[in-house]
Amino acid sequence: MRYAHEVGNVRAAEGALMARLPEGTLMQRAAAGLARVCAGLLDRVYGADVVVLAGSGDNGGDALYAGARLARRGARVRVVAAGSRLHQAGLADLRAAGGRLIETAAAGEAVAEADLVIDGLTGIGGAGALREPHATLARAASEASGTVVACDVPSGVDASSGRVEGAAVRADVTVTFGTLKPGLLVDPGASYCGVVELVDIGLGPYLNDPDVVSPAAEDVRPPLPGAESDKYRRGVVGILAGGDEFTGAAVLATGGAVHGGAGMVRFASVPHAVELVRHRWPEAVTTVIEPGAKALDAIGRVQAWVVGPGLGTGDDAEELISAVLSTDLPVLVDADGLTVLSRRRDLLTRDAPTLLTPHAGELARLLDADRTAIEARRLEYVRRAAAELDATVLLKGSTTVIAEPDRPVRVNPTGTPWLATAGTGDVLSGLTGALLAGGMSALDAACAGAYLHGLAARLAAGGPHPEAGESPISAYDVITALPDAFRTLR
């Protein structure tokens, strides 16, 4: 796992560590790590043209001390001050090393000419939109032809949430200190960071539990069959999806479950949807059901339910969703099922695990909130949803985030923008439902499902020759790539 801590947590750890160290030690550790990364990004340090954009706080001090280290190795280092104050000791060290301060009016030309630009404007203390001259300097850095390195977090990105309001530095590399910050992992902030390099400055023993975690491949552990496994021990997932109008969702959700490791997939719906699923996935056990509270009785025993994709939002769908949520089994609700829940939140009052998988628009309906606000503040809203709805919530989007009450938010690191195509969410529902049926908790199933889904999409988009670049994919391509995604975990 990669662990991320919000600003308050980081500040408390820094304070506890600094109380045990000589003054300035922590800043020197950060500056040394920053300078080391910057040196590695240059063809050679001697003679390189480096511009430091320095704010008035400790972040500016880190950047100035790093600039001084590069100047002592022969780099030409110039500093642009954002405002009237700078970290005086850092500036003195840089001047002693041969660096010099230039006027803000000359910043645009200097940044454009630089081999490397160090963004030390705001750091983790920055909040809200950048003011002038910071905003102009951030835009200049973002347009630079040289390599741009952000110090701790790109200026203009909220370190704790990933929010971006107005101008922000688009970095090629972000060098962050002590621990990752959530804003480096969650869009829109994550899209400004480039490659993130973590420099250890000794905070580890002083940090509280992480606020956000992001899994690596070794952390994703879907259930594996053993010598004594049979189709029932591996997990039976029931899927209620599709209708006379929307049949594709039924086929795709079932495909996600078939390739998601389920021992058996039971699919139930109206006759036409059943016919299509039976034709495409003959291994699925299919049942034609009539609307009503007793519809589940005809399906047979399952260990988890997936309900909602293509189901419709009328009275019949509501009755079926109510019946599923009245069981004592884990239930994943997606798509049309979420629309029904937006007017029937009372159905979520249950003791068994419930996993909701909305995109921003669906979550906006569930919370009576603004979609744009959700997309800008994904962490805030996924936490709110988990608390208000008393459920595990997987918020799909450019960064998929997963929340459960009183647990660190999980951030999925896989995926590709090519997933933004019809039907991929249905595949995710079936895949994650299979993992639920296999015995995973709602949080772990959501995390593993998102990881495998994103990885399968990358594999499908890259094909056999990833160096040629990614190409468009369909939802069905994601299904067919799932076995390869599972194999990468082993």
Instruction: State yes or no: 152 annotated in a binding site.
Output: yes
Is 244 annotated to bind ligand? no
Name the percent of the chain in helix, strand, coil, to the closest 5: 45, 15, 40
Q: Concatenate the DSSP letters of all residues of 73-91 into one string.
A: TT-EEEEEESSS---HHHH
In which residue are the tokens 């099922």 written?
A: 337
- The answer on whether 334 is annotated among ligand-binding residues is no
Token output for 140 = 């200049």
Q: Is 58 annotated as a binding residue?
A: yes
Query: Is 460 annotated as a binding-site member?
Result: no
Tell whether residue 124 is among the known ligand binding residues. Answer: yes
Q: Which of 174, 189, 145, 156 is nearest to 62 (CA)?
A: 174
Asked if 431 and 451 count as a contact pair (C-beta separation under 8 A), the reply is no
Partners of 175 in the β-ladder: 151, 197
Q: Which amino acid type is present at position 178?
A: G
C-alpha span between 166 and 135 (Å, rounded)? 8
Residue 371 burial (CB count, 10 A): 15
Question: 292: annotated binding-site residue?
Answer: no
Do residues 475 and 450 touch, judged by C-beta distance below 8 A?
A: no
Q: Is 62 annotated as a binding residue?
A: yes
Nearest to 479 by CA among 281, 221, 225, 231: 281
Is residue 129 a known part of a binding site? Answer: yes
Amino acid at 299: I
Please tell me whether 392 is known to bind a ligand: no
Cα 63 to Cα 34, 143, 212, 266, 470, distances in angstroms: 8, 20, 27, 59, 36
Q: Is 310 annotated as a binding residue?
A: yes
Query: Is 93 among the annotated ligand-binding positions?
Result: no
State both tokens at 80.
Answer: 């642009």
Q: Is 155 assigned to a binding site? A: yes
Ligand-binding annotation for 128, yes or no, is yes
- Report the alpha-carbon distance of residue 298 to residue 296 in Å, rounded: 5
125 in a labelled binding site? yes
Phi/psi at 425 (5° precision): -65, -35
399 annotated as belonging to a binding site for a ligand: yes
| Peptide linkage before 133 cis (omega within 30 of 0) | yes
Amino acid identity for residue 46 in this structure: Y
Phi, psi of 85 (to 5 degrees): -120, 145
Q: Is 178 among the annotated ligand-binding positions? A: no
Is 465 annotated as a binding-site member?
no
Is there a binding annotation on residue 230? no
Residue with tokens 């699925």: 284
Does the annotation list 127 as a binding residue? yes
Q: Could you report how far apart the first and last alpha carbons of the chain are, in Å?
A: 17
Q: Is 101 exposed, middle or buried (0-12, 13-18, 19+ CB in 10 A)?
A: middle
Binding site annotation covers 49? no
Q: Is 294 annotated as a binding residue?
A: no
- Angle at the Cα of 422 from the Cα atoms of 419 and 428, rounded to 5 degrees: 60
Annotated binding site for (6S)-NADPHX: 58-62, 123-129, 152, 249, 310, 359, 426
Annotated binding site for K(+): 59, 119, 155
Annotated binding site: 58-62, 119, 123-129, 152, 155, 249, 310, 359, 396-400, 425-426
Annotated binding site for AMP: 396-400, 425
